[in-house]
Amino acid sequence: MTIIDVQELTKVYRGGLKKRGIVALDNISLSIQQGEIIGLLGPNGAGKTTFLKVVLGIAHPSTGQVIVNGYKPKDPRSRKHLGYLPENHRFPEHLTGLGLLEFTGRMHGLKQVEIDARTDRLLEMVDMAKWSNTKIRKYSKGMQQRIGLAQAMMPDPDVLLLDEPTDGVDPVGKVEIRKVLERIRSEGKTIVLNSHLLSEVESVADRVAILSKGRLVRLCTVDELITRNCQYEIDADIGNRLVDIPVEVGKILNVSTSKLIVELTAEDKINYVIDVLRMKKISIRAIQPLKLTLEQSFMEAIVPSGTVGTHKGAEV
Amino acid sequence: MRGITRDTFIEMIDRKLVWIFLVVTLITLLIVVLTRSASMQIEFGGNISQSSPFTNLADKMAVSGLSSFLSFLVFLSVLATAGLIPSMLVRGRAEYFLSKPISRTALYLYKLFGIWFVYGGMMVCAGMVIAASFYLIHGIFNWNYAYLFILNLASFFVWLSITTFAGVMAGSAMLSVVTAFVVLVVQLALRFHEQLGAIIRSPIITKTVDILYYIFPKTGQMADITEKLASGQPVTDWLPVWSTLLFAIVLIVITSEIFKRKDY
């Protein structure tokens, strides 16, 4: 079931009288299904935060259509079952952590009984129970992120939009937040995770959407992103033997005494390569699809081809 | 109102503004107590009946004193609340408020009325303390004093409509205060629109000044009407009251429409 449907979305921020508008989002179409975790990747200024803001109705689309939970973002009902952790948030500083959760609950129209039940559970979940009566202004950055995550969870949302959730959090805190995200995922909730930490996205996301200069340049699963089509790394005792394959089968990208990297014209051509190696009495230890690191794939997606670093095969 | 009034109250306590109101009230209370000895000196001159010139004078002084006190609290409240909407809409906090399932119009109106209830409520409490002190110390009380409370609350509402408009437009507490100050100065000048017209002698400018007079709020003239009502005097011209309230309502509608269309 599609929970967020974005079609041909363009967002232009109007400049001053003589300034040209800034295109923050350029013709983006993206559907997010219930229960999936989608990672939004992109360099600074790619439009990731603007995308979340348009979905939430915080910024208005210039053209295109956005439907959230069956409603347009300007309809408050679209946000009824939606939790949001903004980037660089500044929650009301006069509130305590507990006060923030209670206020968030009231803003979502929850009854006091529901608020009481959820605050205790959420404070425990983000390990903030003992700081619940301390004013937010006294919290460290990590504590603010954790209480921010708790307030995003307060309405028991079907969709959670997290903008840089581990920003400013120490490594231990990051692991804890990742555990929380995995727990949320196990509850079947949808998460849209905007993060510049590729490892974070890689570890939790089902799909990734890469934005660059306001455009959606890639939308696929993490595995599809890091796997190179028809490229294989073959572990074999090649030694000094000459290996060659016809152009219609593919080409050899790299060869050493123990490793061969080939790019084939089709998936089934791997059998031909195996036959060639076996005919030359080369023993094959392993064949694996060539994978890039997420960082390499990301760079390849946003930077023009030919400028990306060297390939690195993933271990099988 | 989705906890916004309560949040505004917590914010007021946190900003320690309640202490400023308390200090102003205590100073006024002290002044009322000190006037007791003055009134006693006059009373030694002879017996005073309920309708004596002294009682009338004291009643007028009480009306004037209470009116000035409440007007000062309106001034304080306008200064104290000018930054609340800009603070709510600051980057990082606007996203928090706007991501909740509340329409922008409702959010704006809840905050506006939340501020009005909380700060207006404190004004009423402080005013009642002073009115009670007039009664206990000087024996002066008049139900017409209720007009002082009602119209000062209305005046505060009008100023809130102006500061929240500037707050939504510019997102700055300073600009909100400056806007309120500009409106105050302009309305003071426009109060003499007839004299201005006579001096300028340009039909276009005279007409413009007249139109501006009818458009702009007239809180100064509202204060005069308030004092007349509290003193039991007849009011012949209600235009300053209804046109000022109409100005506030129109401004609130405009602010709400602008707020709905803005990107944060």
Please choose, from the candidates A269, A280, A289, the residue with its C-alpha nearest in 3D space to the C-alpha of residue A237.
A280
Q: What is the chain B residue with the closest CA to A60?
A: B263
pLDDT in tens, A293-304: 778 888 888 876
Is the pLDDT at A198 greater than 70? The verdict is yes
The DSSP H or E segment spanning A218 is strand A215-221
Would the pLDDT of B65 be above 70? yes
Tens of pLDDT along A24-58? 999 999 999 998 999 999 888 899 999 999 999 99
Hey, are the CB atoms on B99 and A104 less than 8 Å from each other?
Answer: no
pTM: 0.84
Q: What are the boundaries of each domain within chain A?
A: 2-224, 238-282
Burial of B125 (C-beta count, 10 Å sphere; 0-12/13-18/19+): exposed
Contact assessment for residue A66 and residue A53, using Cβ atoms and an 8 Å cutoff: no
Q: What is the DSSP string of A244-256?
A: ---TTTEEEEEE-
The reported pLDDT for the residue numbered A123 is 94
Q: What is the pLDDT of residues A105-164, one digit of tens each?
A: 999 999 999 999 999 999 998 889 999 999 999 998 888 999 999 999 999 999 999 999
Q: Quick check: B75 and B156 in contact, CB under 8 A?
A: no
**Top-confidence residue, A230 or A67:** A67
Residues comprising chain B, all counted:
264
- Any CB–CB contact under 8 A between B51 and chain A? no
Confidence of residue B37 (pLDDT cuts 50, 70, 90): low
Distance CA B192, CA B197 (A): 9
Show residues of chain A in contact with B171, CB under 8 Å. none
**Gap from A153 CA to chain B (nearest CA, Å):** 12
Three-state helix/strand/coil letters over B53-67: HHHHHHHHHHHHHHH
Give the pair of three-digit tokens for residue A246. 């016809």
Q: CA B111 to CA B97: how far, in whole Å?
A: 11
Average pLDDT over residues A276-295: 87
Nearest to A64 by CA among A12, A19, A18, A20: A12
Burial (0-12, 13-18, 19+ Cβ within 10 Å), A282? middle
Which superfamily, per CATH, for A2-224? P-loop containing nucleotide triphosphate hydrolases (3.40.50.300)
**A33 - beta bridge partners?**
A2
The SS3 of residue B37 is helix
pLDDT band of A314, cuts 50, 70, 90: very low
Question: Which of B7, B95, B110 should one mutate to test binding to chain A, selecting the residue with the greatest count of A CBs within 10 A?
Answer: B95
Beta bridge partners of A193: A39, A162
Q: Could you give the angle at which helices B17-43 and B104-138 cross, rounded to 10 degrees? A: 30
Task: Please check whether residue B94 touches A, CB under 8 A.
Answer: yes
Percentage with pLDDT > 90 across chain A: 56
- Is residue B221 packed enough to be buried (19+ CB in 10 Å), middle (13-18) or exposed (0-12)? middle
Per-chain mean pLDDT for chain A: 88
